[in-house]
Copies of this chain bind each other. A is one copy, B any other.
């Protein structure tokens, strides 16, 4: 499957109700790409907005397509690694900025960003599940970011006022990865 529009998330839910979002799935992302015969459900996918998707082309047809899938899953793994360092070693403020920058960069690659601005359908609770924080603390951290003039965020729209400067300030490492262009064109 390939997502044409809308946002989804890979999520895991603990028995006592705690939830953790592994990664976000944005337009252009592949979902359920499973190159072996023993599928095991290790996380579930939930949609965060109305979603449009279609079946991905069969992989065996062309070598180029296989490459594309392989690269796609490498990028996905890079996102997981980013998420791990976010959760393990960044402060609340850094986690949120870093996540925002990642989402912004990913959407930019699909032409879905405009001067630091993107559509942003996430609630603070979802943000909390992604960053390993509580909803209350996400709220307070967002307020701080607004006060510092780093972002503008109101219903449905996020603006990162100086993406380059922020990325610089954070010493954001993995930017290079996102410059890999997927040779897949959305229809």
Q: Is there an interface contact between A80 and B89, defined as CB atoms closer than 8 Å?
A: no
Does A32 count as interface, using CB distance less than 8 angstroms?
no
Copies per complex? 2
On whether the beta carbons of B177 and A81 are closer than 8 Å, the reply is no
What are the 3 tightest A-B residue pairs by CB atom distance, in nearest-first order?
Answer: A88-B132, A36-B70, A87-B87
Nearest-neighbor residue (CB-CB) of A80 within chain B: B80
Kindly state the separation between the CA atoms of A85 and B177 in the bound complex, as whole angstroms. Answer: 23
Residue in A18, A87, A173 whose Cβ sees the most chain B Cβ within 10 Å: A87
Asked if A42 is at the interface of the complex by the 8 Å CB criterion, the answer is yes
Is there contact, CB below 8 Å, between A132 and B81?
no
Query: What total of chain A residues lie within 8 Å of the partner, measured CB to CB?
Result: 39
What are 25 A-to-B residue pairs whose CB atoms are below 8 Å? A10-B81, A12-B84, A12-B85, A14-B171, A15-B171, A16-B171, A19-B89, A20-B85, A20-B88, A22-B84, A22-B85, A35-B70, A36-B70, A36-B71, A36-B74, A38-B71, A38-B180, A40-B176, A43-B81, A80-B80, A83-B84, A84-B87, A87-B87, A88-B131, A89-B132
Q: Is the CB of B89 within 8 A of A40?
A: no
A42-B171 contact in complex given A14-B85, A70-B35, C-beta closer than 8 Å: no
Of B34, B83, B174, the residue contacting A74 (CB under 8 A) is B34
| Least CB separation from A34: chain B residue | B74
Assuming the contacts A19-B89, A42-B177, A132-B88, asked whether A37 and B67 have C-beta atoms less than 8 A apart, the reply is: yes
